[in-house]
């Protein structure tokens, strides 16, 4: 079994018992950014993916995420460490694997964060510009980075309270539009609500691979429930429940909403309608205007900005905690492993992430690059690639952990079968994105098409070497990589 390190009230602990089930759930759902997925990603998924087959694709992806979650949750009962994927890899596969995953997480979540900084700036400039508040995109990005940095520096329960409010408002405005479509019966002249979610012809139409990737992106973030294991109340119950609750909330929300987004114009008219818009991401706002009207489209635009802010805050917290654990365990300088005297927050990692975001923002703004087409599209897919890689390794780590610890209680489904299935699926998606990164990001033919995805294996190699160095210099510390902190 995994050895537990009893910290005995160390001043460098995270803030204990500060997050309940709802707080943890909303903290991770905020990273999935429900409104951003609906308004930003889903119209592109319809257009570039399999059109009216998207609702069934979400059913499939929900089942895949649940398959991953079964083994993940089973191991969460025995591994309680804010390093999440890192701790799983270290306790299941060994310290060098843990080091590789730790640095991969830092690269991946920073990439996701940097990309969202650009996306928020670009969207905020358009939304607030329509109200007459015209500012360069990078000003909005700068404001967001600084606010997120302040929240991350302080107590985690403060961030949680902000996230609960913002995510609840996201769900509310989408449901207003959903029930507007439902109440009107959809597009009466195009079949209304008679959209068959389980239509296999629609499911297999267009590009199923692109559809899977878009839908997968809507789940990224749910895996981070275990990051809050050291700060949750009753983590053995809270973390598993929050993980399942997050998967179900994200999956059912997108199945229901995309079904109604199809019914809003009719399956036969969907592609022509979305493709005929000047900007496909206007589709949700068009439905809001058609079926609800009034101030709802404008409110939805403002909440889209707040949705992105919530996602920024979530990923900032992930990065700060991965940095903290890496510093605490000797993979990064020890300063990262210290917590704030008053807030008990991983403030060094928080400040470092904020500085990194400011540097990347200054580079893209200084070069005059587009915040969405370049900063978001180029960089965020690095994060998707990294998360898929970490989920693949984690699936293997679950199998290895239960094999080495037969006394740990878990059935065959959780120990081997579902982790093996989900691991194979994640590995296949990782390889596909890596090989087709240029096509997915518009960097085909240039050096960026291979440099950017190579940052993930490069991060893994550096982490592997950092763990190997620790093994040579301090074997005792190496053996404790990823251990529980109670």
The pLDDT value given to residue 2 = 44
- What domains are defined for the chain? 4-485 (1.20.1740.10)
In terms of average pLDDT, the best of 34-43, 193-202, 226-235, 453-462 is 453-462
pLDDT score of 14: 56
Task: Find tokens 């093994």 and name the residue.
Answer: 471
CA 321 to the chain's CA centroid: 15
Is residue 218 predicted with pLDDT exceeding 90?
A: no
Between residues 298 and 30, which one has the greater pLDDT? 298
Question: Distance between CA atoms of 263 and 274, rounded to whole angstroms?
Answer: 13
pLDDT of residue 158: 57
Q: Residues 254-304: pLDDT tens digits?
A: 999 999 999 999 999 999 999 998 888 889 999 999 999 999 999 999 999
pTM of the complete model: 0.85
Average pLDDT of the chain?
Answer: 86
For residues 385-413, give the mean pLDDT.
92
Q: How far is CA 154 from CA 47, 141, 167, in A?
A: 42, 20, 20
Q: Which pLDDT band, with edges at 50, 70 and 90, does 340 fall under?
A: low
Residue 129 in 3-state DSSP? helix
Whether pLDDT at 6 is above 50:
no
Q: How many residues does the chain have?
A: 486
Do the beta carbons of residue 464 and residue 96 sit within 8 Å?
A: yes
**Is the pLDDT assigned to residue 345 strictly greater than 50?**
yes
Q: How far apart are CA 80 and CA 231, in angstroms?
A: 10
């Amino acid at each position: 079994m995994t050895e537990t390190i009893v910290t005995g009230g160390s001043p460098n602990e995270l803030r204990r018992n500060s997050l309940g089930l709802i707080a943890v759930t909303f903290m991770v759902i905020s990273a999935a950014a429900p409104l951003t997925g609906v308004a930003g990603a889903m119209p592109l998924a319809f257009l570039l993916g399999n059109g009216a087959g998207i609702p069934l694709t979400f059913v499939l992806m929900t089942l895949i995420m649940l398959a991953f979650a079964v083994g993940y949750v089973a191991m969460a009962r025995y591994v309680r460490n804010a390093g999440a994927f890192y701790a799983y890899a270290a306790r299941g596969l060994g310290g060098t694997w843990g080091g590789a995953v730790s640095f991969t997480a830092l690269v991946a979540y920073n990439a996701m964060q940097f990309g969202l900084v650009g996306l928020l700036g670009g969207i905020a400039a358009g939304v607030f510009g329509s109200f007459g508040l015209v500012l360069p995109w990078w000003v909005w990005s700068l404001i967001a980075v600084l606010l997120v940095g302040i929240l991350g520096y302080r107590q985690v329960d403060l961030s949680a309270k902000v996230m609960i409010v913002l995510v609840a408002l996201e769900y509310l405005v989408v449901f207003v539009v959903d029930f507007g479509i439902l109440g009107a019966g959809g597009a009466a002249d195009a079949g209304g609500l008679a959209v068959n979610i389980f239509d296999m012809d629609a499911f297999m139409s267009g590009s199923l691979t692109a559809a899977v990737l878009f839908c997968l992106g809507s789940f990224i973030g749910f895996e981070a429930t275990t990051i809050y294991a050291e700060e949750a109340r009753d983590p053995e119950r809270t973390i598993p429940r929050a993980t399942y609750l997050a998967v179900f909330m994200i999956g059912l929300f997108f199945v229901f909403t995309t079904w109604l987004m199809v019914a809003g114009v009719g399956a036969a008219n969907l592609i022509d309608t979305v493709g005929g818009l000047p900007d496909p991401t206007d589709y949700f706002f068009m439905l809001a205007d058609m079926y609800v009207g009034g101030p709802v489209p404008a409110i939805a635009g403002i909440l889209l900005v707040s949705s992105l802010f919530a996602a920024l805050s979530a990923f900032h917290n992930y990065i700060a905690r991965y940095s903290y654990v890496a510093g605490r365990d000797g993979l990064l300088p020890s300063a990262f492993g210290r917590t704030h005297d008053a807030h008990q927050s991983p403030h060094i990692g928080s400040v470092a992430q904020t500085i990194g975001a400011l540097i990347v923002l200054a580079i893209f703004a200084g070069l005059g690059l587009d915040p969405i087409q370049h900063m978001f599209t180029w960089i965020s897919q690095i994060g998707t690639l990294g998360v898929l890689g970490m989920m693949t390794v984690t699936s293997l780590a679950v199998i290895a952990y239960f094999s080495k610890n037969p006394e740990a209680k878990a059935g065959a489904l959780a120990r081997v079968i579902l982790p093996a299935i989900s691991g194979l699926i994640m590995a296949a998606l990782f390889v596909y994105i890596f090989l087709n990164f240029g096509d997915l990001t518009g960097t085909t033919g240039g050096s960026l098409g291979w440099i950017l995805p190579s940052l993930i294996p490069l991060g893994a190699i550096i982490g592997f070497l950092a763990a190997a160095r620790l093994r040579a210099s301090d074997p005792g510390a190496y053996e404790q990589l990823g251990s529980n902190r109670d």
